Amino acid sequence: MKELWFRGELKEIGRDECFELLGSRSVGRIGYCTSGGAVILPVNHAVIGGEIVVRVSPGGQTARYLRDNAPEPDLTYEVDDFDDYTESGWSVLVTGTARATSPESLASLTDRPVPWPAGDYWDYVRIHPTRVTGRRLVPA
């Protein structure tokens, strides 16, 4: 049985490294508050020009939240990676505002987010960070 004490060390991650880590993964979690409570959903993303770009279904819950709270609703975005064996990992949390962006504005980019779920109609959303924080768990 594992001990219940924390044996590692938490270290703050600087903004530049946070963006490197965000760019190293293609899936994160978008979070926002609705009248029904907090919502946290996995989405595919890409880091483009200091912003996080995600694709959402036009008829889905996130698209409705964005439309209902336009023009630039607040939300959070989180990406992490953990290794159970070494008990190490990292987490990056972005707080910011979101705005819809046209597919045409991203047409020339090769690093657009590609959603894993099947579907023909997807909206692009840019998350403009107002705060970026990160922590790394380093084994003792």
pLDDT in tens, 48-100: 888 998 888 888 888 889 888 988 899 999 999 998 888 889 999 999 999 87
pLDDT surpasses 90 at 18: yes
Give backbone dihedrals phi and psi of 17, rounded to 5 degrees, phi first: -70, -35
The pLDDT, as a whole number, for residue 2 is 56
pLDDT for the residue numbered 40: 96
0.85 exceeded by pTM: no
Which has the closest alpha carbon to 56: 71, 41, 68, 69? Answer: 41
Q: Let me know the angle formed at the C-alpha of 77 by 64 and 71, rounded to the nearest 5 degrees.
A: 40
Q: 28 or 44: which carries more pLDDT confidence?
A: 28
